Amino acid sequence: MDGRDGSVAATVDRERPPGWSATGDPLVKFHAPEIVFGAGALAETGHAARRLGAVRPFVVTDPGLVEAGWVAELRGHLAEAGLTPVVCSDVSPNPRDAEVTAAHETYRANGCDVIIGLGGGSAMDAAKGVAILAGNGGSILDYRGVDQVRHEIPPLLMVPSTSGTGADVSQFCIVTDTARRMKVTIMGRALVPDISVTDPRLLTTMPDWLNAATGLDALTHGVEAFVSRAHNALADVHALNAVGLVTTHLTTTMTRPLDAAARTGMAEASLAAGLAFTNAILGATHAMSHQVGGLLDAPHGVINGILLPHVIRYNARTAPGRYRALARSAGLDVDGMPDEEAAEHLAAHARALADEVGVPRSLRAIGLTEDHLGVLAEHSLEDACLTTNPRATDSQDLEDIFRAAL
């Protein structure tokens, strides 16, 4: 057969290079938005929103961005493009289900179209939540899990103001279930934004604690994506790059906040980590961190910084091999040592970096007690991120990791 009969298999077989197998590695589909990156990129938002069909864009942000002046600058760029934005700034850290509902009601009442998330992960997750409800209705909690968003959502344009969440390029939306005091993970390809605009200038107005937290979040994204069961060669490159960039630049942004090179490096780290984890998913650190954040309303990246070394050690007991490449990317000399030892060096390095940027050493320091561990472990089992952790886990395993981090 020469393939002219319409047989795809015949054509593929004829053209496959020697040694390639039809039943080899699975195909990889890499998801990414259009990306605009660089100092001054915020000026591109008006043009970008118009290309998405905006007339009355809906801007989801938070009071800190209003105070810092970035919302006013964004408004100006949108107005220059002939657009009339509606701004919702009633978003708190770890956005709540009720806040998403209220924001959606404002979106509908004003006849808005394109949705713009301006801020950290909380603002961008809330923006995604509004988009889900705009296209699908119901309660935001109806969409927990994987690929539950069945109908088309409005176009999404994301502008991150922190350097770590990756929400501007990811297929994740994290919302707090206030009744159960836990975070729910909503995941699906529909949630990958249409356009991501990263302007490193916005990072200079973060408070130090948020800079530290989001930087450690980017580190965790890189580590977990690289060892994920769903890792692939395309995502691996971004994961390793992110780990190296965080290690190189995070502490400099803490000591020299206006250092343009360091801020740009961390913006690149956040972007690379986001591209990695949206395509390779995550692991136990995030599954557990989401639950602590939902219970205590604590900063997500801070919790990651506490948990990550313990999860590395847990996973490395059965699957240490891939931690070697991560350790090298972090600048550690691990050549010639056993994989388990290389993984331990990486865990210690992650803890040392958390120390440098002022993150507490224990979960107890942020308010957790022994009494919380059982329910947190059970809730973590429900999180979609756990499905790609490299080591199988049960409730007792998770409780043990929580106890080690306590």
pLDDT of amino acid 24 = 58
Residue that wins the pLDDT comparison between 279 and 25 = 279
Predicted local distance difference test score (pLDDT) of residue 27: 86
| DSSP state for residue 96 in the 8-state scheme | B
Q: What single letter denotes the amino acid at residue 372?
A: H
Looking at per-residue confidence, does 34 or 16 come out higher?
34
pLDDT in tens, 202-220: 999 999 999 999 999 999 9
Closest listed residue to residue 184, CA positions, set 307, 304, 100, 290: 290
Q: For residue 117, name the pLDDT band (cuts at 50, 70, 90).
A: very high
Half-sphere exposure at residue 388, Cβ-oriented, CA atoms within 13 angstroms? 22
* Predicted confidence (pLDDT) per residue in 344-400, tens digit: 999 999 999 999 999 999 999 999 999 999 999 999 999 999 999 999 999 999 999
Q: For strand 145-146 and strand 156-160, is the pairing parallel, antiparallel, or unpaired?
A: unpaired
Place of tokens 């490449």: 325
C-beta separation of 275 from 373 below 8 A: no
Rounded mean pLDDT, 231-257: 97
pLDDT-derived band of residue 18, with 50, 70 and 90 as boundaries?
low
Q: What is the DSSP letter of 39?
A: T
Whether 235 contacts 279, CB under 8 Å: yes
Distance CA 323, CA 306 (A): 18
Domains of the chain: 34-202 (3.40.50.1970), 207-405 (1.20.1090.10)
Closest CA to 202 of 147, 232, 239, 165: 165
Taking only the tens place, the pLDDT of each residue in 125-178 is 999 999 999 999 999 999 999 999 999 999 999 999 999 999 999 999 999 999
pLDDT over threshold 60, residue 23 = no
pLDDT at 26: 74
pLDDT at 5 > cutoff 90? no
Of the candidates 171, 101, 168, the one whose C-alpha atom is nearest the C-alpha of residue 139 is: 101
Return the pLDDT at 17.
53
Torsion of CA 143, 139, 114, 89, to 10 degrees: -120
DSSP for residue 133: H
Structure tokens at 305: 């910084």
Arithmetic mean of pLDDT, 15-35: 71
For the entire predicted model, the pTM comes to: 0.92
Indicate if the pLDDT at residue 295 is higher than 90.
yes
The DSSP-derived string for 102-132 is: HHHHHHHHTT--SEEEEESHHHHHHHHHHHH
DSSP 80: H
The percent of residues in the chain predicted with pLDDT above 70, rounded, is 94
For residue 11, what pLDDT is reported? 32
For 269, 293, 367, the CA distances from 370, given in Å and listed in that order, are: 35, 16, 10
Count of C-beta atoms within a 10 Å radius of residue 193:
28
